Structure 1
């Protein structure tokens, strides 16, 4: 174990340790011609060292066009899988294989396959927060950024299956007027918000606007002044820097929001659980750490692989989404 790795055996890094790690990561990135893609829900220091920070659509677009030899995906497993599907000849690595997704886990491939077979006339639209196997069973993929556009692109006489997120599906149905057959899946992070606590916080901050991610439950969305994807929420806040916002999505987004609009007041929407941050955090996203990111790049593992038969089938619905999203 080298000196830097030994330092990282400490439970918590001090600022000097973080700076040293970030410098080492930057050096390794250059040596290996690697690109670091990070989701908004990652820890702040991971976002700060990344080449690109974005939501699922932006990350997919970046993965599709990168010329790097190696993609380091600071996110969760399905995101790294998507990058591998788009780049079969590049090495794709993830800091921790345990960085899963409650929403993706709510849609087992075998069960979903039977569901699709039972409705052979339906166009299958799947939210990108799903496994490669689910994408391979799909006609087109969407993200929260483009879900309305994707569904509106489907002829009105074609019935639709929408999976796996029922909350996003309900929101899309309401916005488009399309009836869809919904898979019964959900994200535990976006279902953790407490409406009672949210109302209490809003009473204390009556001028604050509530902004929410469409994966949230309907009663949360009904309180929102704005509903949008993570990138959409950031862009909305940037338009109104003088306002105050209660933010109903994973609390990792607050870091980039505050960087983009330093003087804006941001309040995380409260969860049912009484935790230290009084917010909703994704344990899977937070499995990745700066130390794991460093070790991942240094040793070029864990590496993500997708079997060829699944990859080739999953590529088509992703490419359809990217084409429509241009």
Structure 2
């Protein structure tokens, strides 16, 4: 272990901290983390271990979610400008205005949203449980789904449930095309194509499976196949290869890299623990409102 990694481990013990790393962050960060996973999975894990300090290596909405579920903990975001373009596409004032225009609608927010937006909606969902959450809503209630039009569109098609879709998207997943899938299949015949449900509807239709990051990891772990085409942010390839020796994982497109997810470096992580920066602070009233739709989601059986 190099010097900076040793210093991080020493500070982690000193601060009674836990380090969380999203599946998309840099490999060296994933290797140093106590837990890796998707945003909500990590936040739930952090809540269960009751850490004094949570260092979330990911983007801001993820650190906010960790703070909402673990308000007693100090939550740090090592890179303060690590944001999420999709989350930022749902402006809280515009969401509030939409609520006023649709007083009877159930507002469903993808967990990839800011705390200010979560505070305005009825229930949250993840890419893995969106189907279950939408099925739980009475058929006679209109639904506004935000901020990802692609995840919402895929759920609409799968469930036959009409929803009003917010015009947001993940720029990385939204760029995937059917032609990319066709090229990848030609280059690796027989390998299943796994994409994220943040991709467009026609892309999901052309793929073999549309799965959350946790779903992709599980599929590849349980499959007897030896070769897979992965259509999501490239950071997940490190964990896939690490957990599945002897299997081959091919990126659908080399350009599927989220710059925000890659912002955190080992030095940023060290400085964050050393200086206890940047702390995620949420207004208590906002936090009380924003955690409700997350808890409602977790209560859906």
TM over 0.5: yes
Report the number of matched residues.
301
Does 2:285 match 1:296?
no
Deviation at 1:306, TM superposition (A): 1.0
In the alignment, is the contact (CA less than 8 A) between 2:181 and 2:193 conserved in 1? no
CA distances 1:242-281 after superposition (whole Å, capped 9, x unpaired): 33111111000001111111111111111xxxxxxx2301
In the alignment, is the contact (CA less than 8 A) between 1:56 and 1:79 conserved in 2? yes
C-alpha RMSD of the superposition: 1.3
Does 2:20 match 1:32?
no
Whole-angstrom CA distance in 2 between matches of 1:212 and 1:55: 15
In the alignment, is the contact (CA less than 8 A) between 2:37 and 2:214 conserved in 1? yes
Whole-angstrom CA distance in 2 between matches of 1:206 and 1:241: 16
Deviation at 1:241, TM superposition (A): 4.5
The partner residue of 1:185 within 161, 168, 175 is 168
CA distances 1:144-174 after superposition (whole Å, capped 9, x unpaired): 1111111111122221111000000011112
Does 2:147 match 1:164?
yes
The partner residue of 1:75 within 40, 46, 58 is 58
Whole-angstrom CA distance in 2 between matches of 1:41 and 1:49: 14
In the alignment, is the contact (CA less than 8 A) between 1:209 and 1:243 conserved in 2? no
**4+ runs of 1 displaced by more than 3 Å?**
none
Deviation at 1:143, TM superposition (A): 0.7
Q: Corresponding residue for 2:252? A: 269
Secondary structure of residue in 2 paired with 1:170: helix
Secondary structure of residue in 2 paired with 1:254: helix
* Residues 1:241 and 1:264: Cα distance change in structure 2 (over 3 Å): farther
Whole-angstrom CA distance in 2 between matches of 1:71 and 1:250: 24
Whole-angstrom CA distance in 2 between matches of 1:94 and 1:104: 16
In the alignment, is the contact (CA less than 8 A) between 2:154 and 2:200 conserved in 1? no
Whole-angstrom CA distance in 2 between matches of 1:241 and 1:42: 27
Q: Corresponding residue for 2:238? A: 255
- What does 1:1-326 align with in structure 2 at a 5 Å threshold? 19-270=2-253, 278-324=254-300
Please give the TM-score of this superposition, normalised by the length of structure 1.
0.89
CA distances 1:279-298 after superposition (whole Å, capped 9, x unpaired): 30101111111110111011
Deviation at 1:192, TM superposition (A): 2.1
In the alignment, is the contact (CA less than 8 A) between 2:181 and 2:206 conserved in 1? no
Residue segments in structure 2 that go unaligned for 5+ positions in a row: none
Please give the TM-score of this superposition, normalised by the length of structure 2.
0.96
Residue segments in structure 1 that go unaligned for 5+ positions in a row: 1-15, 271-277
